[in-house]
Amino acid sequence: MKVITLYEPGSIENLKIEEVDIPQISDNEVLVQVKAISINPVDVKSRAGKGVYGRLKDIKPLILGWDISGIITQKGKDVTDFEIGYEVFGMVNFPGHGKAYAEYVAVPANQLALKPASISFEEAAAATLAALTAWQALVNNAKVKSGDKVLIHSAAGGVGHYAVQIAKFLGAHVIGTSSANNRDFVLSLGADEHIDYQNQQFEDRAADLDFVHQARRNFNQYPIGFK
């Protein structure tokens, strides 16, 4: 199978296409034929020698990538939730060696979800890291519930636009910040109010908040807030 490898960090010219054997799966894994991947800031930083590269630098060759969608072609004997032919998506072995830049990827079954039939492989692959970040912040950490008042900064961004939808799904009153150009988009996601951060101070518009979601630029810093 074809993979994209990295032997030394640097520019995109350091990425090489090579042929390797299809990976063998363990009892709790499935083999996914990759239909789409997504590239996030962590990919770019790791390729350049930053990000999680420090943890992986001794692996030669290194196969970057963590976010995939595809079709299960094999399953281990302990896998009960998936069958061959299922369409799935997920973030693989993050922050370890994901090996997603490949035609086939061995994935622990508990790191995958079924791909909804209503979305494409490309849409599913693009939803993993960003959507999980928003979900962890709002559901796992903040435990946002119906009736909460939530402020979401950068509501038109990669993580933010998922955060708006998740918060609304949980029943929260959502205030989203973005530029004026993205106002209609943010409101279309379900936000109840919009703040133009370029011309308005959110401190003057939002009070009695239960949680503030702020996605930081550094990939390994979780969103912050209060409850």
Contacts of 162 (CB under 8 A, 6+ apart): 127, 130, 131, 133, 134, 135
pLDDT for 201 equals 87
**End-to-end Cα distance, the chain:** 48
Q: Are 52 and 46 in contact (CB under 8 A)?
A: yes
Let me know the angle formed at the C-alpha of 119 by 117 and 121, rounded to the nearest 5 degrees: 100
**Identity (one letter) of the amino acid at 193?**
E
Low-confidence ranges of the chain (pLDDT < 70): 215-227
- Using DSSP's 3-state secondary structure scheme, residue 171 falls into coil
- 26 CB-side CA count, 13 A: 5
- Return the pLDDT at 204: 85
Query: What distance in Å separates the CA atoms of residue 200 and residue 195, rounded to the nearest whole number?
Result: 7
CA gap 173, 177 in Å, rounded:
14
**What is residue 182's predicted lDDT score, i.e. its pLDDT?**
97
What is the identity of the amino acid at 142?
A
Q: Which distant-in-sequence residues (6+ apart) come within 8 Å of 155 by Cβ?
A: 161, 163, 164, 176, 177, 178, 182, 186, 189, 191, 194
Q: Can you give the pLDDT at residue 216?
A: 58
pTM comes to 0.82
What pLDDT sits at residue 206? 87
Tell me how far CA of residue 164 lies from CA of 18, 186, 191, in angstroms. Answer: 41, 8, 6
Residue whose token pair is 């996914």: 32
Domains plus CATH for the chain? 2-126 (3.90.180.10), 130-213 (3.40.50.720)
